[in-house]
């Protein structure tokens, strides 16, 4: 069978690299990798890396990843998805990719520093040997437009809307992270267990949110109890955050248009010594989320 004359893409070109830099991407970037493996790895370009006996392209790629991951993590990046491929459901049946991978980097600058690390580049020959073809597409997260939200009426309703908005922004930030970024200890010096990692910060936000809701319930003479909130994984923590906000919304349901005089007449004595009215306690809850989201952003930029 004659060899295919289709163009093969294994490395970036100067032109594609220049185009990437001209995009001036700010913040994190996700690299979509589409991979097609050789049946037998071809080490002709890097014979010094070749194993003693022939191996498959997929096996050679695993050697490449074993070499690469320490450098990737050192640069602040991580693999957020790897999966087996096949033929397209929508697309040409003649085109197939054996695997797809998503790699997140904190910034384009971090990606470039990783990609130009000489120690990392020493293992690139395994990638070239492994692949018959590849694609690499840099992606920038763009949140989908939210469905038009029906805003609640009243001062209390407006504050609950803003509380949910703050929670949604925090959830989006968490979901952009890898599990390793979420769980790693960031502050080795602190004596505050709630501030050691992004995971513990988010756990603190959730448990404190329940405390604020219980203060509000007590002010309304409504029964309530704090649920158990175990330290969660990245995705579990997002669900815990949503559940806390839903609990708060249920606390306030039917009271969105509470009159100003009733709001200001409430006196909530907090355990940290401050006294709040109803509105001030809700404002404190909102700012608490915003403050810790900023703390997480600073962790990520350190």
Q: CA neighbours within 13 Å on the CB side: how many for 113?
A: 13
Q: What are phi and psi of 251, to 5 degrees?
A: -60, -40
Tokens of 23: 């995009």
User: Cβ of 38: how many Cβ atoms within 10 Å?
Assistant: 18
CB neighbours (10 Å) of residue 254?
Answer: 8
pLDDT attached to residue 3: 45
Residue 282, both tokens: 């809700």
Looking at residue 175, its pLDDT comes to 87
Q: Are 30 and 91 in contact (CB under 8 A)?
A: no
pLDDT at 176: 83
Segment 58-97, tens digit of pLDDT: 999 999 999 999 999 989 889 989 999 988 999 998 899 9
What's the CATH fold of domain 14-139?
Answer: Alpha-Beta Plaits (3.30.70)
Reported as a single tens digit per residue, the pLDDT across 122-149 is: 999 999 999 999 999 999 987 666 677 7
Distance, in Å, from the CA atom of 135 to the CA atom of 91, rounded to the nearest integer, reads 15
Same CATH fold, 154-301 and 14-139? no
Contacts of residues 10-17 at CB distance under 8 Å and 24 or more positions apart, as own/partner, are 10/127, 10/128, 10/131, 10/133, 10/134, 11/128, 12/136
Dihedral sign of CA atoms 233, 234, 235, 236 in order: positive
Domain segments of the chain: what residues? 14-139, 154-301
Interior angle at CA 115, CA 112 and CA 121, nearest 5: 155
* Class of the domain covering 154-301: mainly alpha
Q: The tokens of 55 are what?
A: 């191996």
Low-confidence ranges of the chain (pLDDT < 70): 1-5, 143-146
pTM: 0.63
Q: Who's near 54: CB < 8 A, 6+ residues apart?
A: 40, 41
Q: What is the DSSP letter of 123?
A: T
Residue 221, SS3 per DSSP: coil
């Amino acid at each position: 069978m004659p060899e295919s004359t289709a163009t093969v893409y294994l490395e970036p070109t100067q032109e594609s690299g220049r185009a990437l830099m001209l995009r001036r991407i700010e913040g994190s970037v996700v690299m979509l990798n589409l991979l097609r493996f050789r049946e037998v790895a071809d080490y002709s370009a890097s014979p010094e890396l070749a194993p003693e006996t022939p191996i498959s392209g997929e096996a050679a790629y695993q050697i490449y990843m074993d070499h690469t991951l320490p450098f990737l993590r050192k640069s602040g990046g991580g693999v957020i998805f790897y999966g087996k491929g096949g033929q397209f459901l929508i697309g040409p049946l003649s085109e197939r990719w054996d695997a797809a991978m998503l790699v997140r980097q904190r910034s384009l600058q971090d990606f470039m520093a990783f990609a130009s690390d000489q120690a990392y580049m020493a293992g690139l020959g395994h990638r070239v040997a492994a692949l018959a073809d590849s694609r690499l597409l840099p992606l920038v997260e763009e949140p989908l437009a939210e469905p038009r939200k029906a805003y609640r009426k009243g001062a209390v309703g407006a504050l609950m809307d803003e509380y949910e908005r703050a929670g949604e922004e925090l959830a989006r930030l968490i979901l952009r992270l890898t599990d390793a970024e979420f769980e790693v200890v960031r502050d080795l010096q602190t004596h505050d267990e709630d501030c050691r990692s992004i995971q513990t910060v988010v756990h603190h936000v959730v448990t404190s949110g329940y405390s604020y809701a219980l203060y509000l319930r007590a002010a309304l003479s409504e029964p309530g109890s704090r649920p158990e909130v175990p330290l969660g994984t990245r995705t579990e923590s997002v669900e815990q955050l949503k559940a806390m906000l839903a609990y708060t919304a249920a606390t306030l349901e039917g009271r969105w248009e509470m009159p100003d005089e009733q709001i200001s007449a409430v006196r909530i004595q907090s355990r940290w010594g401050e006294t709040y009215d109803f509105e001030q306690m809700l404002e404190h809850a909102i700012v608490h989320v915003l403050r810790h989201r900023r703390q997480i952003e600073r962790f990520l930029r350190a």
